[in-house]
Structure 1
């Protein structure tokens, strides 16, 4: 029996140095039908979606309170027709309040390897596509966590280099597990950068980081939509000649610039606009026209009309039939989020492994799964009801959220915290005054500290960067927003489900590694788990004293 995601992550956390205890909450929703992964494909494939939320808290001593230190939000798509899985790592964030070394890198490596390894993959699919978009921000999941002095957000190019190193580590580990009959491919694109510029920039950004075992598969600078080694999720669709469709290649994810770009391409028409159909000239009857000829003419025109409607339905929408994948990625370099001065990166890892035949229903819920509404409720509370600017507020938020998860599993709906200003790329969340545990304070009387000026901190250098507007669901075709209900009932959770599949803890007691020494003989472990940059010693030139005139 394959190990659950919770157990796989706890197993990886056991190897971290130091003495501390980790508390892990893993929430995976039951699969449901989803029509938005390839909304412009004809025919549209059947896709099943599961939400994944991972929250990791740390307890430095047995008497210390728990505090969230890392979190993952991901989406797993299953395309049974081509035996493909698509894993989109939407968010990865830390609070900066973990003991060194930070568990964030270990957590995400174990998370990706769990789905990449066929021995632990929860869904019997032969091909796995992992997509992630790297864009530097102060915080992704934990509001105001960038205000904590222990958090050091990476810059744009360093974030891209960090993700490339993480995927390289996972690929190197998977090569020893998947066997010789399997295939593994790595792709990345930094829009606006040539291959030489991208290689040099990422190499210089990660020069001070320690390197692990490198995979034998080399990174490919480009997109994976021209290769045929590993089938794409829509590879079973063969469009007619002249009806090539970009919608068969580009998957659509939430808060992803390429999804917004393909929406614009799909709704772009020619410069002259949409033409109305030409008015047909009325047919006049002659004396020699018989009733049989009229009926034959009507049947022929009706068949021709049906064929034209069918061809029009199969024709790619907008300009999707005129833009190739190569042109799509070339034009991505001119998008707003890619030319605003901050470097962004698109990374794809593909793993193809032989899997045994499976006849189970893809909609059948598995043990330990929860409803998608439960995960959405927890995420909404995390993003709008709490903040992590200091230890006290982070501890209070951790206690409240962990109690909410346990209460929802037990069927008890806890009282949600008072909402605060939603997370935004502009000004940070307003900080609420800490409550007293003895006497609660109503939300109407709660005092708030004034908002911090975004220009007064170096952590907000990305707050004012231009960003494309959020994707508008109303632009998508009508049938992409509705799907037939699942024949299986919503999963019911209990305390047994909570303790068996959702919550787990592990005590870590390992020796700390020796401090890493740089070329100058100095160095150390950074608070976020990375290696600190070498310290530069400035030597002062001592002027030679002039001899006194004799």
Structure 2
């Protein structure tokens, strides 16, 4: 591993954070990540096919105040397959110990997700940023809601906040290599009602080029768009729609867990009994417990689609094709014959290429027999080289945390955080120290990790650069599902108003000589 490239990548992240945080504000950043490990496929495999090989790496970023107490944390899971990269914002939370006059939460979140998306973007491969917004009191910092300074947004405010926070991520890419779109679904809300959650920049887009849209991109990002609906909805951890998927899978005869090797059965057609289309799936999501009884959940996707896919991505797309071109909800009894294993197809094609048609007569061999000399395989065989190349693509040097943990160690420190106490300042300070010490003990017993950063951006510039629209300077986040205290401020400041007043064209006033009165008509 090239530590130099990783260090340069982290320095770039710190520099970006300093550029968007308030001038003179001091914080400490801790960023740890894991190595990519084998994970369950996000999309269920069609009948009689293998699920996509999927790897997942976790990123955890914390923000501490000058009092050495956590004020914010965010967790992002990065899933990689041969044809797609997915960034799932799993959890985010604040403790409420941030001074009201400061607002680092939104710019820090936007900058970190943007930086992570850039470092994990592969040429010619689509990238998706996905999350669901569900209001709750706390996710990562137990007891933080009890001290009173932490404010929880309701469902409607939360979805608006996340759309506004992710808008800079969407608009950061200005080149022609990718097309960018944002998709939002709030179950129970129609297209017109959903637009109220879009960021203010939505109104400035040309009507025929809106970046934010109502709906989902699942047909565009699923590995098999023509597969049954259960194979088109991603299965994220602790996701409301994932729990619904598990319940619907119980309707399939001989069903097994969603991420089984052959899912759900070699003999089944992979169709639910009650839900036959994606539209029906989203319509019924509105009646789920998480989305009903006055509660609201927002599902948001940012999709970065390459305008010119590479040859490798085209080969992957061809490899994912099957003889079936479409699925009919009422006629899928022969799906087990239609779908076949990609590996068996590949082996058969290779065998056909390499094996010439045998002659009916076998040619007699003659001459002396010369034995072949044995060959010793070196460590630099084609297999190992191909494996190393694949690993380097899935886990680039850039974008890694300052501390790298194995999956088991990451789970250990993550669970530890959920058992600590942040109900008051003293308890929060002690819990912060204990968690950092635990991470240090696992990796570097004598080293002090983290990075001190000092903000260099004024409030006015930070508002314009980071959010692209008017934002609050008193935002407080509590978690991914219940974030921020927001105070409205005017969309433009006094300086802008004054400039607009000077440049406004004067109103034309008609002179008295130009006004003609209509002559009166006499009745006599």
Counterpart check, 1:90 vs 2:90: yes
Counterpart-to-counterpart distance in 2, 1:116 and 1:48: 16
- Deviations along 1:32-70, one digit per CA (max 9) or x if unpaired, are 1112422444331111111121111121xxxxx311111
Counterpart-to-counterpart distance in 2, 1:333 and 1:5: 42
Q: CA deviation at 1:191?
A: 0.5
- Counterparts of 1:532-543 in structure 2, within 5 Å, are 532-533=487-488
- Deviations along 1:178-221, one digit per CA (max 9) or x if unpaired, are x1131111100010111222224x37xx88xx999879643111
SS in 2 for 1:376: helix
- Could you tell me which runs of 5 or more consecutive residues in structure 1 were left unpaired when the two chains were aligned: 60-64, 276-308, 413-493, 517-522, 536-550
Counterpart check, 1:223 vs 2:216: yes
How many residues are paired up? 378
- For residue 276 of structure 2, the aligned residue among 303, 323, 329 is 323
Counterpart check, 1:506 vs 2:417: no
User: 1:24, 1:504 within 8 Å by CA — same for their partners in 2?
Assistant: yes
- For residue 406 of structure 2, the aligned residue among 371, 382, 398 is 371
Normalising by structure 2, we get a TM-score of 0.64
Counterpart-to-counterpart distance in 1, 2:179 and 2:462: 37
SS in 2 for 1:166: helix
SS in 1 for 2:390: coil
Relative to structure 1, the CA distance from residue 66 to residue 356 in structure 2 (aligned partners, 3 Å threshold; closer, same or farther) is: farther
User: 1:245, 1:320 within 8 Å by CA — same for their partners in 2?
Assistant: no
Partner of residue 24, structure 1: 29
- Counterparts of 1:391-410 in structure 2, within 5 Å, are 391-410=425-444
User: 2:152, 2:485 within 8 Å by CA — same for their partners in 1?
Assistant: no
Counterpart check, 1:112 vs 2:131: no
- Counterparts of 1:117-196 in structure 2, within 5 Å, are 117=118, 120-121=119-120, 126-174=125-173, 176=174, 179-196=175-192
- Deviations along 1:423-446, one digit per CA (max 9) or x if unpaired, are xxxxxxxxxxxxxxxxxxxxxxxx
Counterpart-to-counterpart distance in 2, 1:76 and 1:8: 20
Partner of residue 486, structure 1: none
- For residue 11 of structure 2, the aligned residue among 7, 12, 18 is 7
Relative to structure 1, the CA distance from residue 158 to residue 85 in structure 2 (aligned partners, 3 Å threshold; closer, same or farther) is: same
Relative to structure 1, the CA distance from residue 387 to residue 22 in structure 2 (aligned partners, 3 Å threshold; closer, same or farther) is: same
Counterpart-to-counterpart distance in 1, 2:26 and 2:280: 50
Counterpart check, 1:250 vs 2:249: no
SS in 2 for 1:92: strand
Deviates more, 1:525-534 or 1:36-45: 525-534
SS in 1 for 2:409: helix
SS in 1 for 2:172: helix
Relative to structure 1, the CA distance from residue 150 to residue 123 in structure 2 (aligned partners, 3 Å threshold; closer, same or farther) is: farther
Counterpart check, 1:526 vs 2:519: no
Relative to structure 1, the CA distance from residue 515 to residue 79 in structure 2 (aligned partners, 3 Å threshold; closer, same or farther) is: closer
| TM-align CA RMSD | 3.7
Normalising by structure 1, we get a TM-score of 0.61
Counterpart-to-counterpart distance in 2, 1:253 and 1:313: 24
Relative to structure 1, the CA distance from residue 530 to residue 138 in structure 2 (aligned partners, 3 Å threshold; closer, same or farther) is: closer
User: 1:12, 1:107 within 8 Å by CA — same for their partners in 2?
Assistant: no
Counterpart-to-counterpart distance in 2, 1:212 and 1:152: 29
Relative to structure 1, the CA distance from residue 4 to residue 250 in structure 2 (aligned partners, 3 Å threshold; closer, same or farther) is: farther
SS in 2 for 1:150: coil
Counterpart-to-counterpart distance in 1, 2:147 and 2:203: 29
- Flag the structure with higher helix content: 2
Q: CA deviation at 1:8?
A: 4.3
Counterpart check, 1:58 vs 2:65: yes
SS in 2 for 1:319: coil
The structure, 1 or 2, with the larger RCO (C-alpha pairs under 8 Å, 6+ apart) is 2
Partner of residue 383, structure 2: none
Counterpart-to-counterpart distance in 2, 1:269 and 1:321: 10
Counterpart-to-counterpart distance in 2, 1:19 and 1:49: 37
